[in-house]
Amino acid sequence: MAIAKKVTINDVAHAAGVSVATVSLVLSGKGRISMATGERVNQAIEALGFVRNRQAASLRGAQTGVIGLIVGDLSSPFYAELAAGVIESLESQGKMVFLTQGGRKGEHMLQRFDTLVSQGVDGVVIAGAVDRASELRDKAEESAVPLVFASRASYLEDVDLIRPDNMQAAQMLTEHLIRRGHQRIAWLGGQSTSLTRAERVGGYCATLLKYGLPFHSEWVVECETSQRQAAEAFSHLLRHNPTITAVVCYNNVVAMGAWLGMLRSGWQSGDESLESYYEQRVALAAFAEVPESALEDAPMSWAITPAREMGQSVAARMLERIDSGKNVVKNQIMPPRLVSTK
């Protein structure tokens, strides 16, 4: 005898021509749903014979203790560290975290958001890939679900957002090199399509201009986040521009590639190049996207982006939003700090 297939919330959404999140809102009685949409969903429920979960229905209006966390790409060291900070902080407060990935370019963000809302989460944190931010913000307002963004770089102003200060970090690194006597400082790494790179290069260029130092377009070199490609790009840069005395690297992977390229090319690290050009020395500085304890033991200066601390701030902001029930837009910028492994 054939067993009847259980009707799911997805079936109801398809039949009503709405999202899963909209069906969930109709079932829970939350959010801003028009009378026509609500009637269409209820008709689909009745026609399909969808059985509502009585236990879930009795909890409508109550908090579930579950927070959704959508990370663009967990393979990114920065976002993995940020996610760890979010999860640790929320779990220490007795919350559970539903973790999922939204895709490097945010291609799955909207779908993942709908899924989390349909599961009745108390709020959603979105880390990275914020190109769909306006749509996600509108969905969150419609669903009456607190939404907090966390991003390594962002142009967003009208959403609840926590991010690092890339320009300040670049200014800090470049100024540190200048104070050590360097006047011919190059840039290595990142892609021109990267907003993070754009913010960092902007800080680097602004600092050179501030001190009246030379800037040459050929001293700003793109390369992928690969040690091999960074080593090749570094060697090419110094071979064609031998008067350069310092290089700012896009991140720790590029920095270690530059370090290897330096060793292979016969250059040495340090500031002594200011005394003798023939010693072929060059100083390295870089942005770290891993914890300070995970940095390689190579002589260079680092601008630390506090990803885990940023995750802790994101968790605190989400709890504040849930407790207050108020949707107040805040843009919080996390300052960098300078460390040296010399």
How many whole angstroms separate alpha carbon 325 and alpha carbon 323?
Answer: 6
Predicted pLDDT at 2: 42
pTM higher than the cut 0.75: yes
Quote the tokens at residue 313.
């701030």
Domain 166-304 superfamily per CATH? Response regulator (3.40.50.2300)
Please determine whether the domains at 9-52 and 166-304 fall in the same fold group of CATH. Answer: no
pLDDT digits (tens, 9 = 90+) for 48-88: 777 655 344 434 456 788 999 999 988 888 999 999 999 99
Quote the tokens at residue 63.
């908090």
Domain 9-52 superfamily per CATH? lambda repressor-like DNA-binding domains (1.10.260.40)
Mean pLDDT of 19-31: 72
Parallel, antiparallel or unpaired: strands 268-269 and 281-288: parallel
Q: 150 falls in which pLDDT band (50, 70, 90)?
A: very high
Residue 96 identity: M
Nearest in space to 232 (alpha carbons), one of 257, 267, 249, 268 = 257
First vs last Cα of the chain: how many Å apart? 75
For the chain, the domains span 9-52, 66-152+307-334, 166-304
Domain 66-152+307-334 superfamily per CATH? Response regulator (3.40.50.2300)
Mean pLDDT of 316-340: 87
19-23, 208-212, 228-232: least confidently modelled range: 19-23
